[in-house]
Chains A and B, each alone.
Chain A
Amino acid sequence: MALRELPFRTASGLSRQVRPAISTGPFSPGRNASTAAIQDIEDSSSLAVPPPSEELAKSFDPVARSRLRRQGKKQLPASRYQYRPPKYYRGPLHPHQPPPASNPASREFQPGPFSLPRLEQTYQSTIAADILTLTYQHHPPGYRPPKLENRLRQWTGDSPYFKNRPLRGPRGRGEELRLLTPPRTFRNIPKITKVTVHSYVPAAQENSAHLHVAGMVVQAVSNVRATAHKSRHNVVGWNLRAGKYVAVTSQMEREDAHHFLAKLVDVVLPRIKEWKGVPGSSGDGAGNMSFGLTPQQVALFPEIEVNYDAYPPKMIPGMHITVHTDATNNKDARLLLQAIGVPFYGKLND
């Protein structure tokens, strides 16, 4: 310890007398380039201008004005007035560039957000701070974290091809390189990034109506257009043929994901009879948690209930729900879901 403290004491003892006294000139306020410019800036803001008078605001009618302007004149076709962005992106050097996707004129523009979800507000105000307190690991000052041994194996041998070759993965079957969990700070509190709803309907191979119904159900529940998926392999045991459409999914982000989870936790899950919870074995070790709902449970969603008769009988599918979080292990992801209100049961998969 004493040896470690030594350099600083010596250095400070030496530098105290060697360091020259730097004397700066007298402080002059008018020497900066910005001071001259400050005088040119107007002190009145355009935002401080009072709104238009009440009678002027009341008499303003944009539709009537536009009608008056168009009266008796033949207008050019609408396409002459409207800007249409190019259909194909032809590279950064092309003179005709499409506007960014945030521009309403863009072809990729999607309106939103439409609200500030309650679940998101709860996360910001309560859940995030509590998770930080629950998972914070304190280290005393001067703590040095233990060095991690190399998780990847070297290529050992005489082969010249081993030079500069990417390192080998862990040894053993089924062994994988797990994500590292960095120390918890206020910047890396786990949060919900995405929710995926997936519905597998093998009966759609014989009768495509099943797939259409599943698509409508998933779309109604998630508020996102459903995507259909083909099966990739022949599996004889399951009567599955490659190339046939058998599943629909939809991915929700941000506002949609929060509204969906809030609806699930507050409306659907409490109404399921004798539901034990999400199995504790759920989780892929990278922050994603999955669980399933049966057709009877899916029918409890308010969007399905409101026009339950519109769906053909016995065609409402079950679904799998995957909650994607940016946690790096099962424990943190489960903690986040528990804070939101999803119960777990059974042996936990840590």
Chain B
Amino acid sequence: MNAGHQTTRRLAAGAGKSICRSCRDSLSRNYASAAAAAVQTEDHVSQHIPPVAQASPQTSYQVNAGVVLSRPPQITRDLHPFESAFFLYQRRLNERSALPFTRYFYYKERTPADREWKRKIKQRLTPARDIGRYKGYGEEAWNDEVLVGAKESDFNWQVERLLEDAETTGVEDQPAQELTETTPSPLAQKKVEHEAVERPMSRITEADKKNDVKSLNRLLQRTLYFLVKNKEGQWMFPQDGLQKETLKEAAHRVLEYSAGVNMNTWIVGNVPIGHYQLDYPTSRKTESGLNELGLKTFFMKARIMAGQANLKENQFGLQDFQWLAKEEVKTQVEDKYWRSIKNMLAER
């Protein structure tokens, strides 16, 4: 730095107050050239220069490590009625445009399975089992739209049809005399007796019905977040002050000290996914002589694989815990806290 630069600096330091306009104009012209020179020299340095730490930091923030422990969605989400209607419409279009079903590749001719297939296709008119009674070929193939109040696009209705197809042989609906005419031998239909198929488990669990917020079986379609009630009675993510450790180690420690060891968890990555800043009304003095302006909590992301939280031996004086979806978290935590955490929680 040469003498000219220093002069510019000195002048510029007081530029706001006591310099006349002509001086200011000349100063800015001088400065512009100086700045251009400075920029040019910087261009040669391609590597990053980390910012220099202050020699004696007077002010600081207390640093906390928090853990956003979550259980990811376990099942697919419910489709919007428009989505399911659209999918049904596309499937029926497909029946019209796809090549015919290669029947004899899947059913040997004159076998019981083949006869069953014939009976069933006579009833539903199409190879697809879950799009209702619809024929994709012929004079009336244009009639592919469902009417008002029809159940065909409903997911549960489709599941029922698939189960029914697996359980029935196609002779149940036919009247008795017709049965004797159409079936060539009673032996053939006796062979294809289907046993009851195991029903899929309900998408709504016991915990959903009881609204058990401590259960991990609630809201299987959503991400659940682990929230604890601290000594002051505030709901928040588990957290603790950062000691001489990395954020990831601190996250492991916080989880163990708050929710016990009976959880199989995985800390995702080494970087925090968000932070919360609290400014004290008046700065505090720490033992090491620092002026603390407030606290910052950095949140690590974690997933729970198995187990359940247990607050019995927690070391932070936690009173209670909950597993909540995103919009339920909003009702529990404070407004300021919510504003800093809402963008790191998944919508679903």
Chain A residues with a Cβ under 8 A of chain B: 1-4, 6-7, 9-11, 13-14, 16, 51-52, 54, 57, 60, 62-63, 66, 104, 109-116, 118, 121-122, 124-126, 129-130, 133-136, 138-140, 142-147, 216, 306-307, 310
Please tell me if B187 contacts chain A, counting CB pairs below 8 Å: no
- B93 contacts A125, C-beta separation under 8 Å: no
- B83 contacts A125, C-beta separation under 8 Å: no
- B76 contacts A7, C-beta separation under 8 Å: no
- B271 contacts A133, C-beta separation under 8 Å: yes
Given A125-B223, A126-B72, A307–B15 Cβ distance below 8 Å?
no
Contact with A13, one of B8, B12, B83, B143 (Cβ below 8 angstroms): B12
Residues of A with C-beta under 8 A to B214 = none
Bound complex: CA of A122 vs CA of B13, how far in Å? Answer: 58
- A307 contacts B106, C-beta separation under 8 Å: yes
Bound complex: CA of A331 vs CA of B117, how far in Å? Answer: 49
Contact with B83, one of A66, A116, A133 (Cβ below 8 angstroms): A116
Contact stretch, chosen from B46-54, B198-206, B224-232, B285-293: B46-54
Top-7 shortest CB links A-B: A13-B16, A147-B46, A13-B15, A57-B148, A111-B93, A133-B269, A111-B94
Residues of B with C-beta under 8 A to A57 = 147-149
Q: Distance (Å) between the CB of B189 and the closest chain A CB?
A: 22
Residues of A with C-beta under 8 A to B77 = 121
Residues of A with C-beta under 8 A to B346 = 125-126, 129
- A16 contacts B9, C-beta separation under 8 Å: no
Q: Distance (Å) between the CB of B68 and the closest chain A CB?
A: 10
- B106 contacts A16, C-beta separation under 8 Å: no
Assign chain B's interface to a size class. 35 or more
Contact stretch, chosen from B23-31, B169-177, B257-265, B276-284: B23-31
Residues of A with C-beta under 8 A to B348 = 124-125
- B148 contacts A10, C-beta separation under 8 Å: no
Given A10-B31, A111-B94, A112-B94, A146–B8 Cβ distance below 8 Å?
no
- B87 contacts A111, C-beta separation under 8 Å: no
- A6 contacts B9, C-beta separation under 8 Å: yes
Please tell me if B243 contacts chain A, counting CB pairs below 8 Å: no
- B268 contacts A133, C-beta separation under 8 Å: yes
Interfacial residues of chain B within 1-36, with CB under 8 A of chain A in the complex: 1, 5, 8-9, 12-13, 15-16, 24, 27-28, 31, 35
Chain B residue nearest in CB terms to A143: B48
Bound complex: CA of A180 vs CA of B108, how far in Å? Answer: 55
Bound complex: CA of A133 vs CA of B12, how far in Å? Answer: 45
Per-position binary interface string of chain B over residues 38-52, scored 1 when its CB falls under 8 Å from any chain A CB and 0 otherwise: 100010001110111
Q: Distance (Å) between the CB of A323 and the closest chain B CB?
A: 22
Please tell me if B253 contacts chain A, counting CB pairs below 8 Å: no
- B12 contacts A136, C-beta separation under 8 Å: no
Bound complex: CA of A194 vs CA of B105, how far in Å? Answer: 29
Bound complex: CA of A134 vs CA of B248, how far in Å? Answer: 12
- A306 contacts B48, C-beta separation under 8 Å: no
- B15 contacts A142, C-beta separation under 8 Å: no
Given A10-B12, A10-B31, A140–B140 Cβ distance below 8 Å?
no
Selected A-B contacts with CB under 8 Å, 27 pairs: A2-B9, A3-B5, A3-B9, A7-B31, A7-B35, A9-B13, A14-B28, A16-B16, A57-B147, A63-B143, A112-B90, A112-B94, A113-B87, A113-B90, A115-B87, A116-B79, A122-B73, A125-B348, A126-B73, A130-B269, A133-B273, A133-B301, A134-B269, A140-B50, A140-B51, A142-B51, A144-B48
Q: Distance (Å) between the CB of B347 and the closest chain A CB?
A: 8
Chain A residue nearest in CB terms to B31: A10
Bound complex: CA of A121 vs CA of B223, how far in Å? Answer: 12
